[in-house]
Amino acid sequence: MHAQPLDLTRLWGEGWAVTFAPRPPAFCLDAMGVSKAAPLPDGLAAFARRSPFDGPPVLVAAAVLDERWSVVVESEAQTGWVGTHPDVLEALAAPGAPACTATSDPNKVQVVFREYGSPVGGLEPRTNRRWGHFADRTRQSLREAGFPDGHATQEHPVPAAPSEGALALLAAQAVTGTELRAEHLQGSWLGGLTAKPYPTTP
């Protein structure tokens, strides 16, 4: 039985993206277009000082989850979510360990990921609608987390979660085998600005 995921919608509102990657934080930020990464003395509180109207470049922050995995947080999508770029996911994936991004905004909540050397896959957590490439291991991990193999129905629902964003985070954690916990949000973070544009093609 999987623990309830963090409810980032309650913590941060409707607009955020969280990327899990089997790479060090500095590598992740570089792949996401940050040229001058630096420690954030007050961690994610740095986001609170930025206005949604600031526009690009936008702030991206990364931290260590464990000896292999990092987490990257975005709270501005003026140019789209950087963590959903196919080239970013390709750069962040490693053999046996996909890179995965959960995003939440008022218009769309989704999870996109990329297995090493494979095309992008994705799902809408509430309906369980899926597209792209799903390895057998990924399907099994989602099944073990409570997601049905097909579209969600009354007979085969998705797991219970406090918000759709929390459900997206649960799916991302299942795909990667990692977990974002409250204590990770308080630790040491590295961050910087990126103006990497949103891709014009899927």
Per residue in 34-90, pLDDT tens? 989 999 988 888 887 776 666 678 889 999 999 999 999 998 777 789 999 999 999
Residue 16: in which H helix or E strand, if any?
strand 16-21
Residue-averaged pLDDT of the chain? 89
By percentage, how much of the chain surpasses pLDDT 90? Answer: 67
Does residue 142 lie within any of the structural domains? yes
Nearest partner of 169 among 72, 71, 86, 101, judged by Cα: 101
Please give the tally of structural domains in the chain.
Answer: 1
Does residue 1 lie within any of the structural domains? no
**DSSP calls for 136-159:** HHHHHHHHHTT--SSS--SSSPPP
Does residue 129 lie within any of the structural domains? yes
Whether the CA torsion 34, 65, 18, 9 is positive or negative: it is negative
Does residue 52 lie within any of the structural domains? yes
Does residue 66 lie within any of the structural domains? yes
Does residue 194 lie within any of the structural domains? no
Kindly give the pairing relationship between strand 38-40 and strand 16-21: unpaired
Residue 12 contacts residue 185 (beta carbons within 8 Å): no
Does residue 193 lie within any of the structural domains? no
Alpha-carbon distance of 27 to 91, in angstroms, equals 9
Q: Could you say which DSSP state residue 97 is in?
A: B
Query: Which residues constitute the domain of residue 12?
Result: 8-184
Lowest mean pLDDT among 84-88, 151-155, 166-170: 151-155
Residue whose structure tokens are 């989602």 = 142
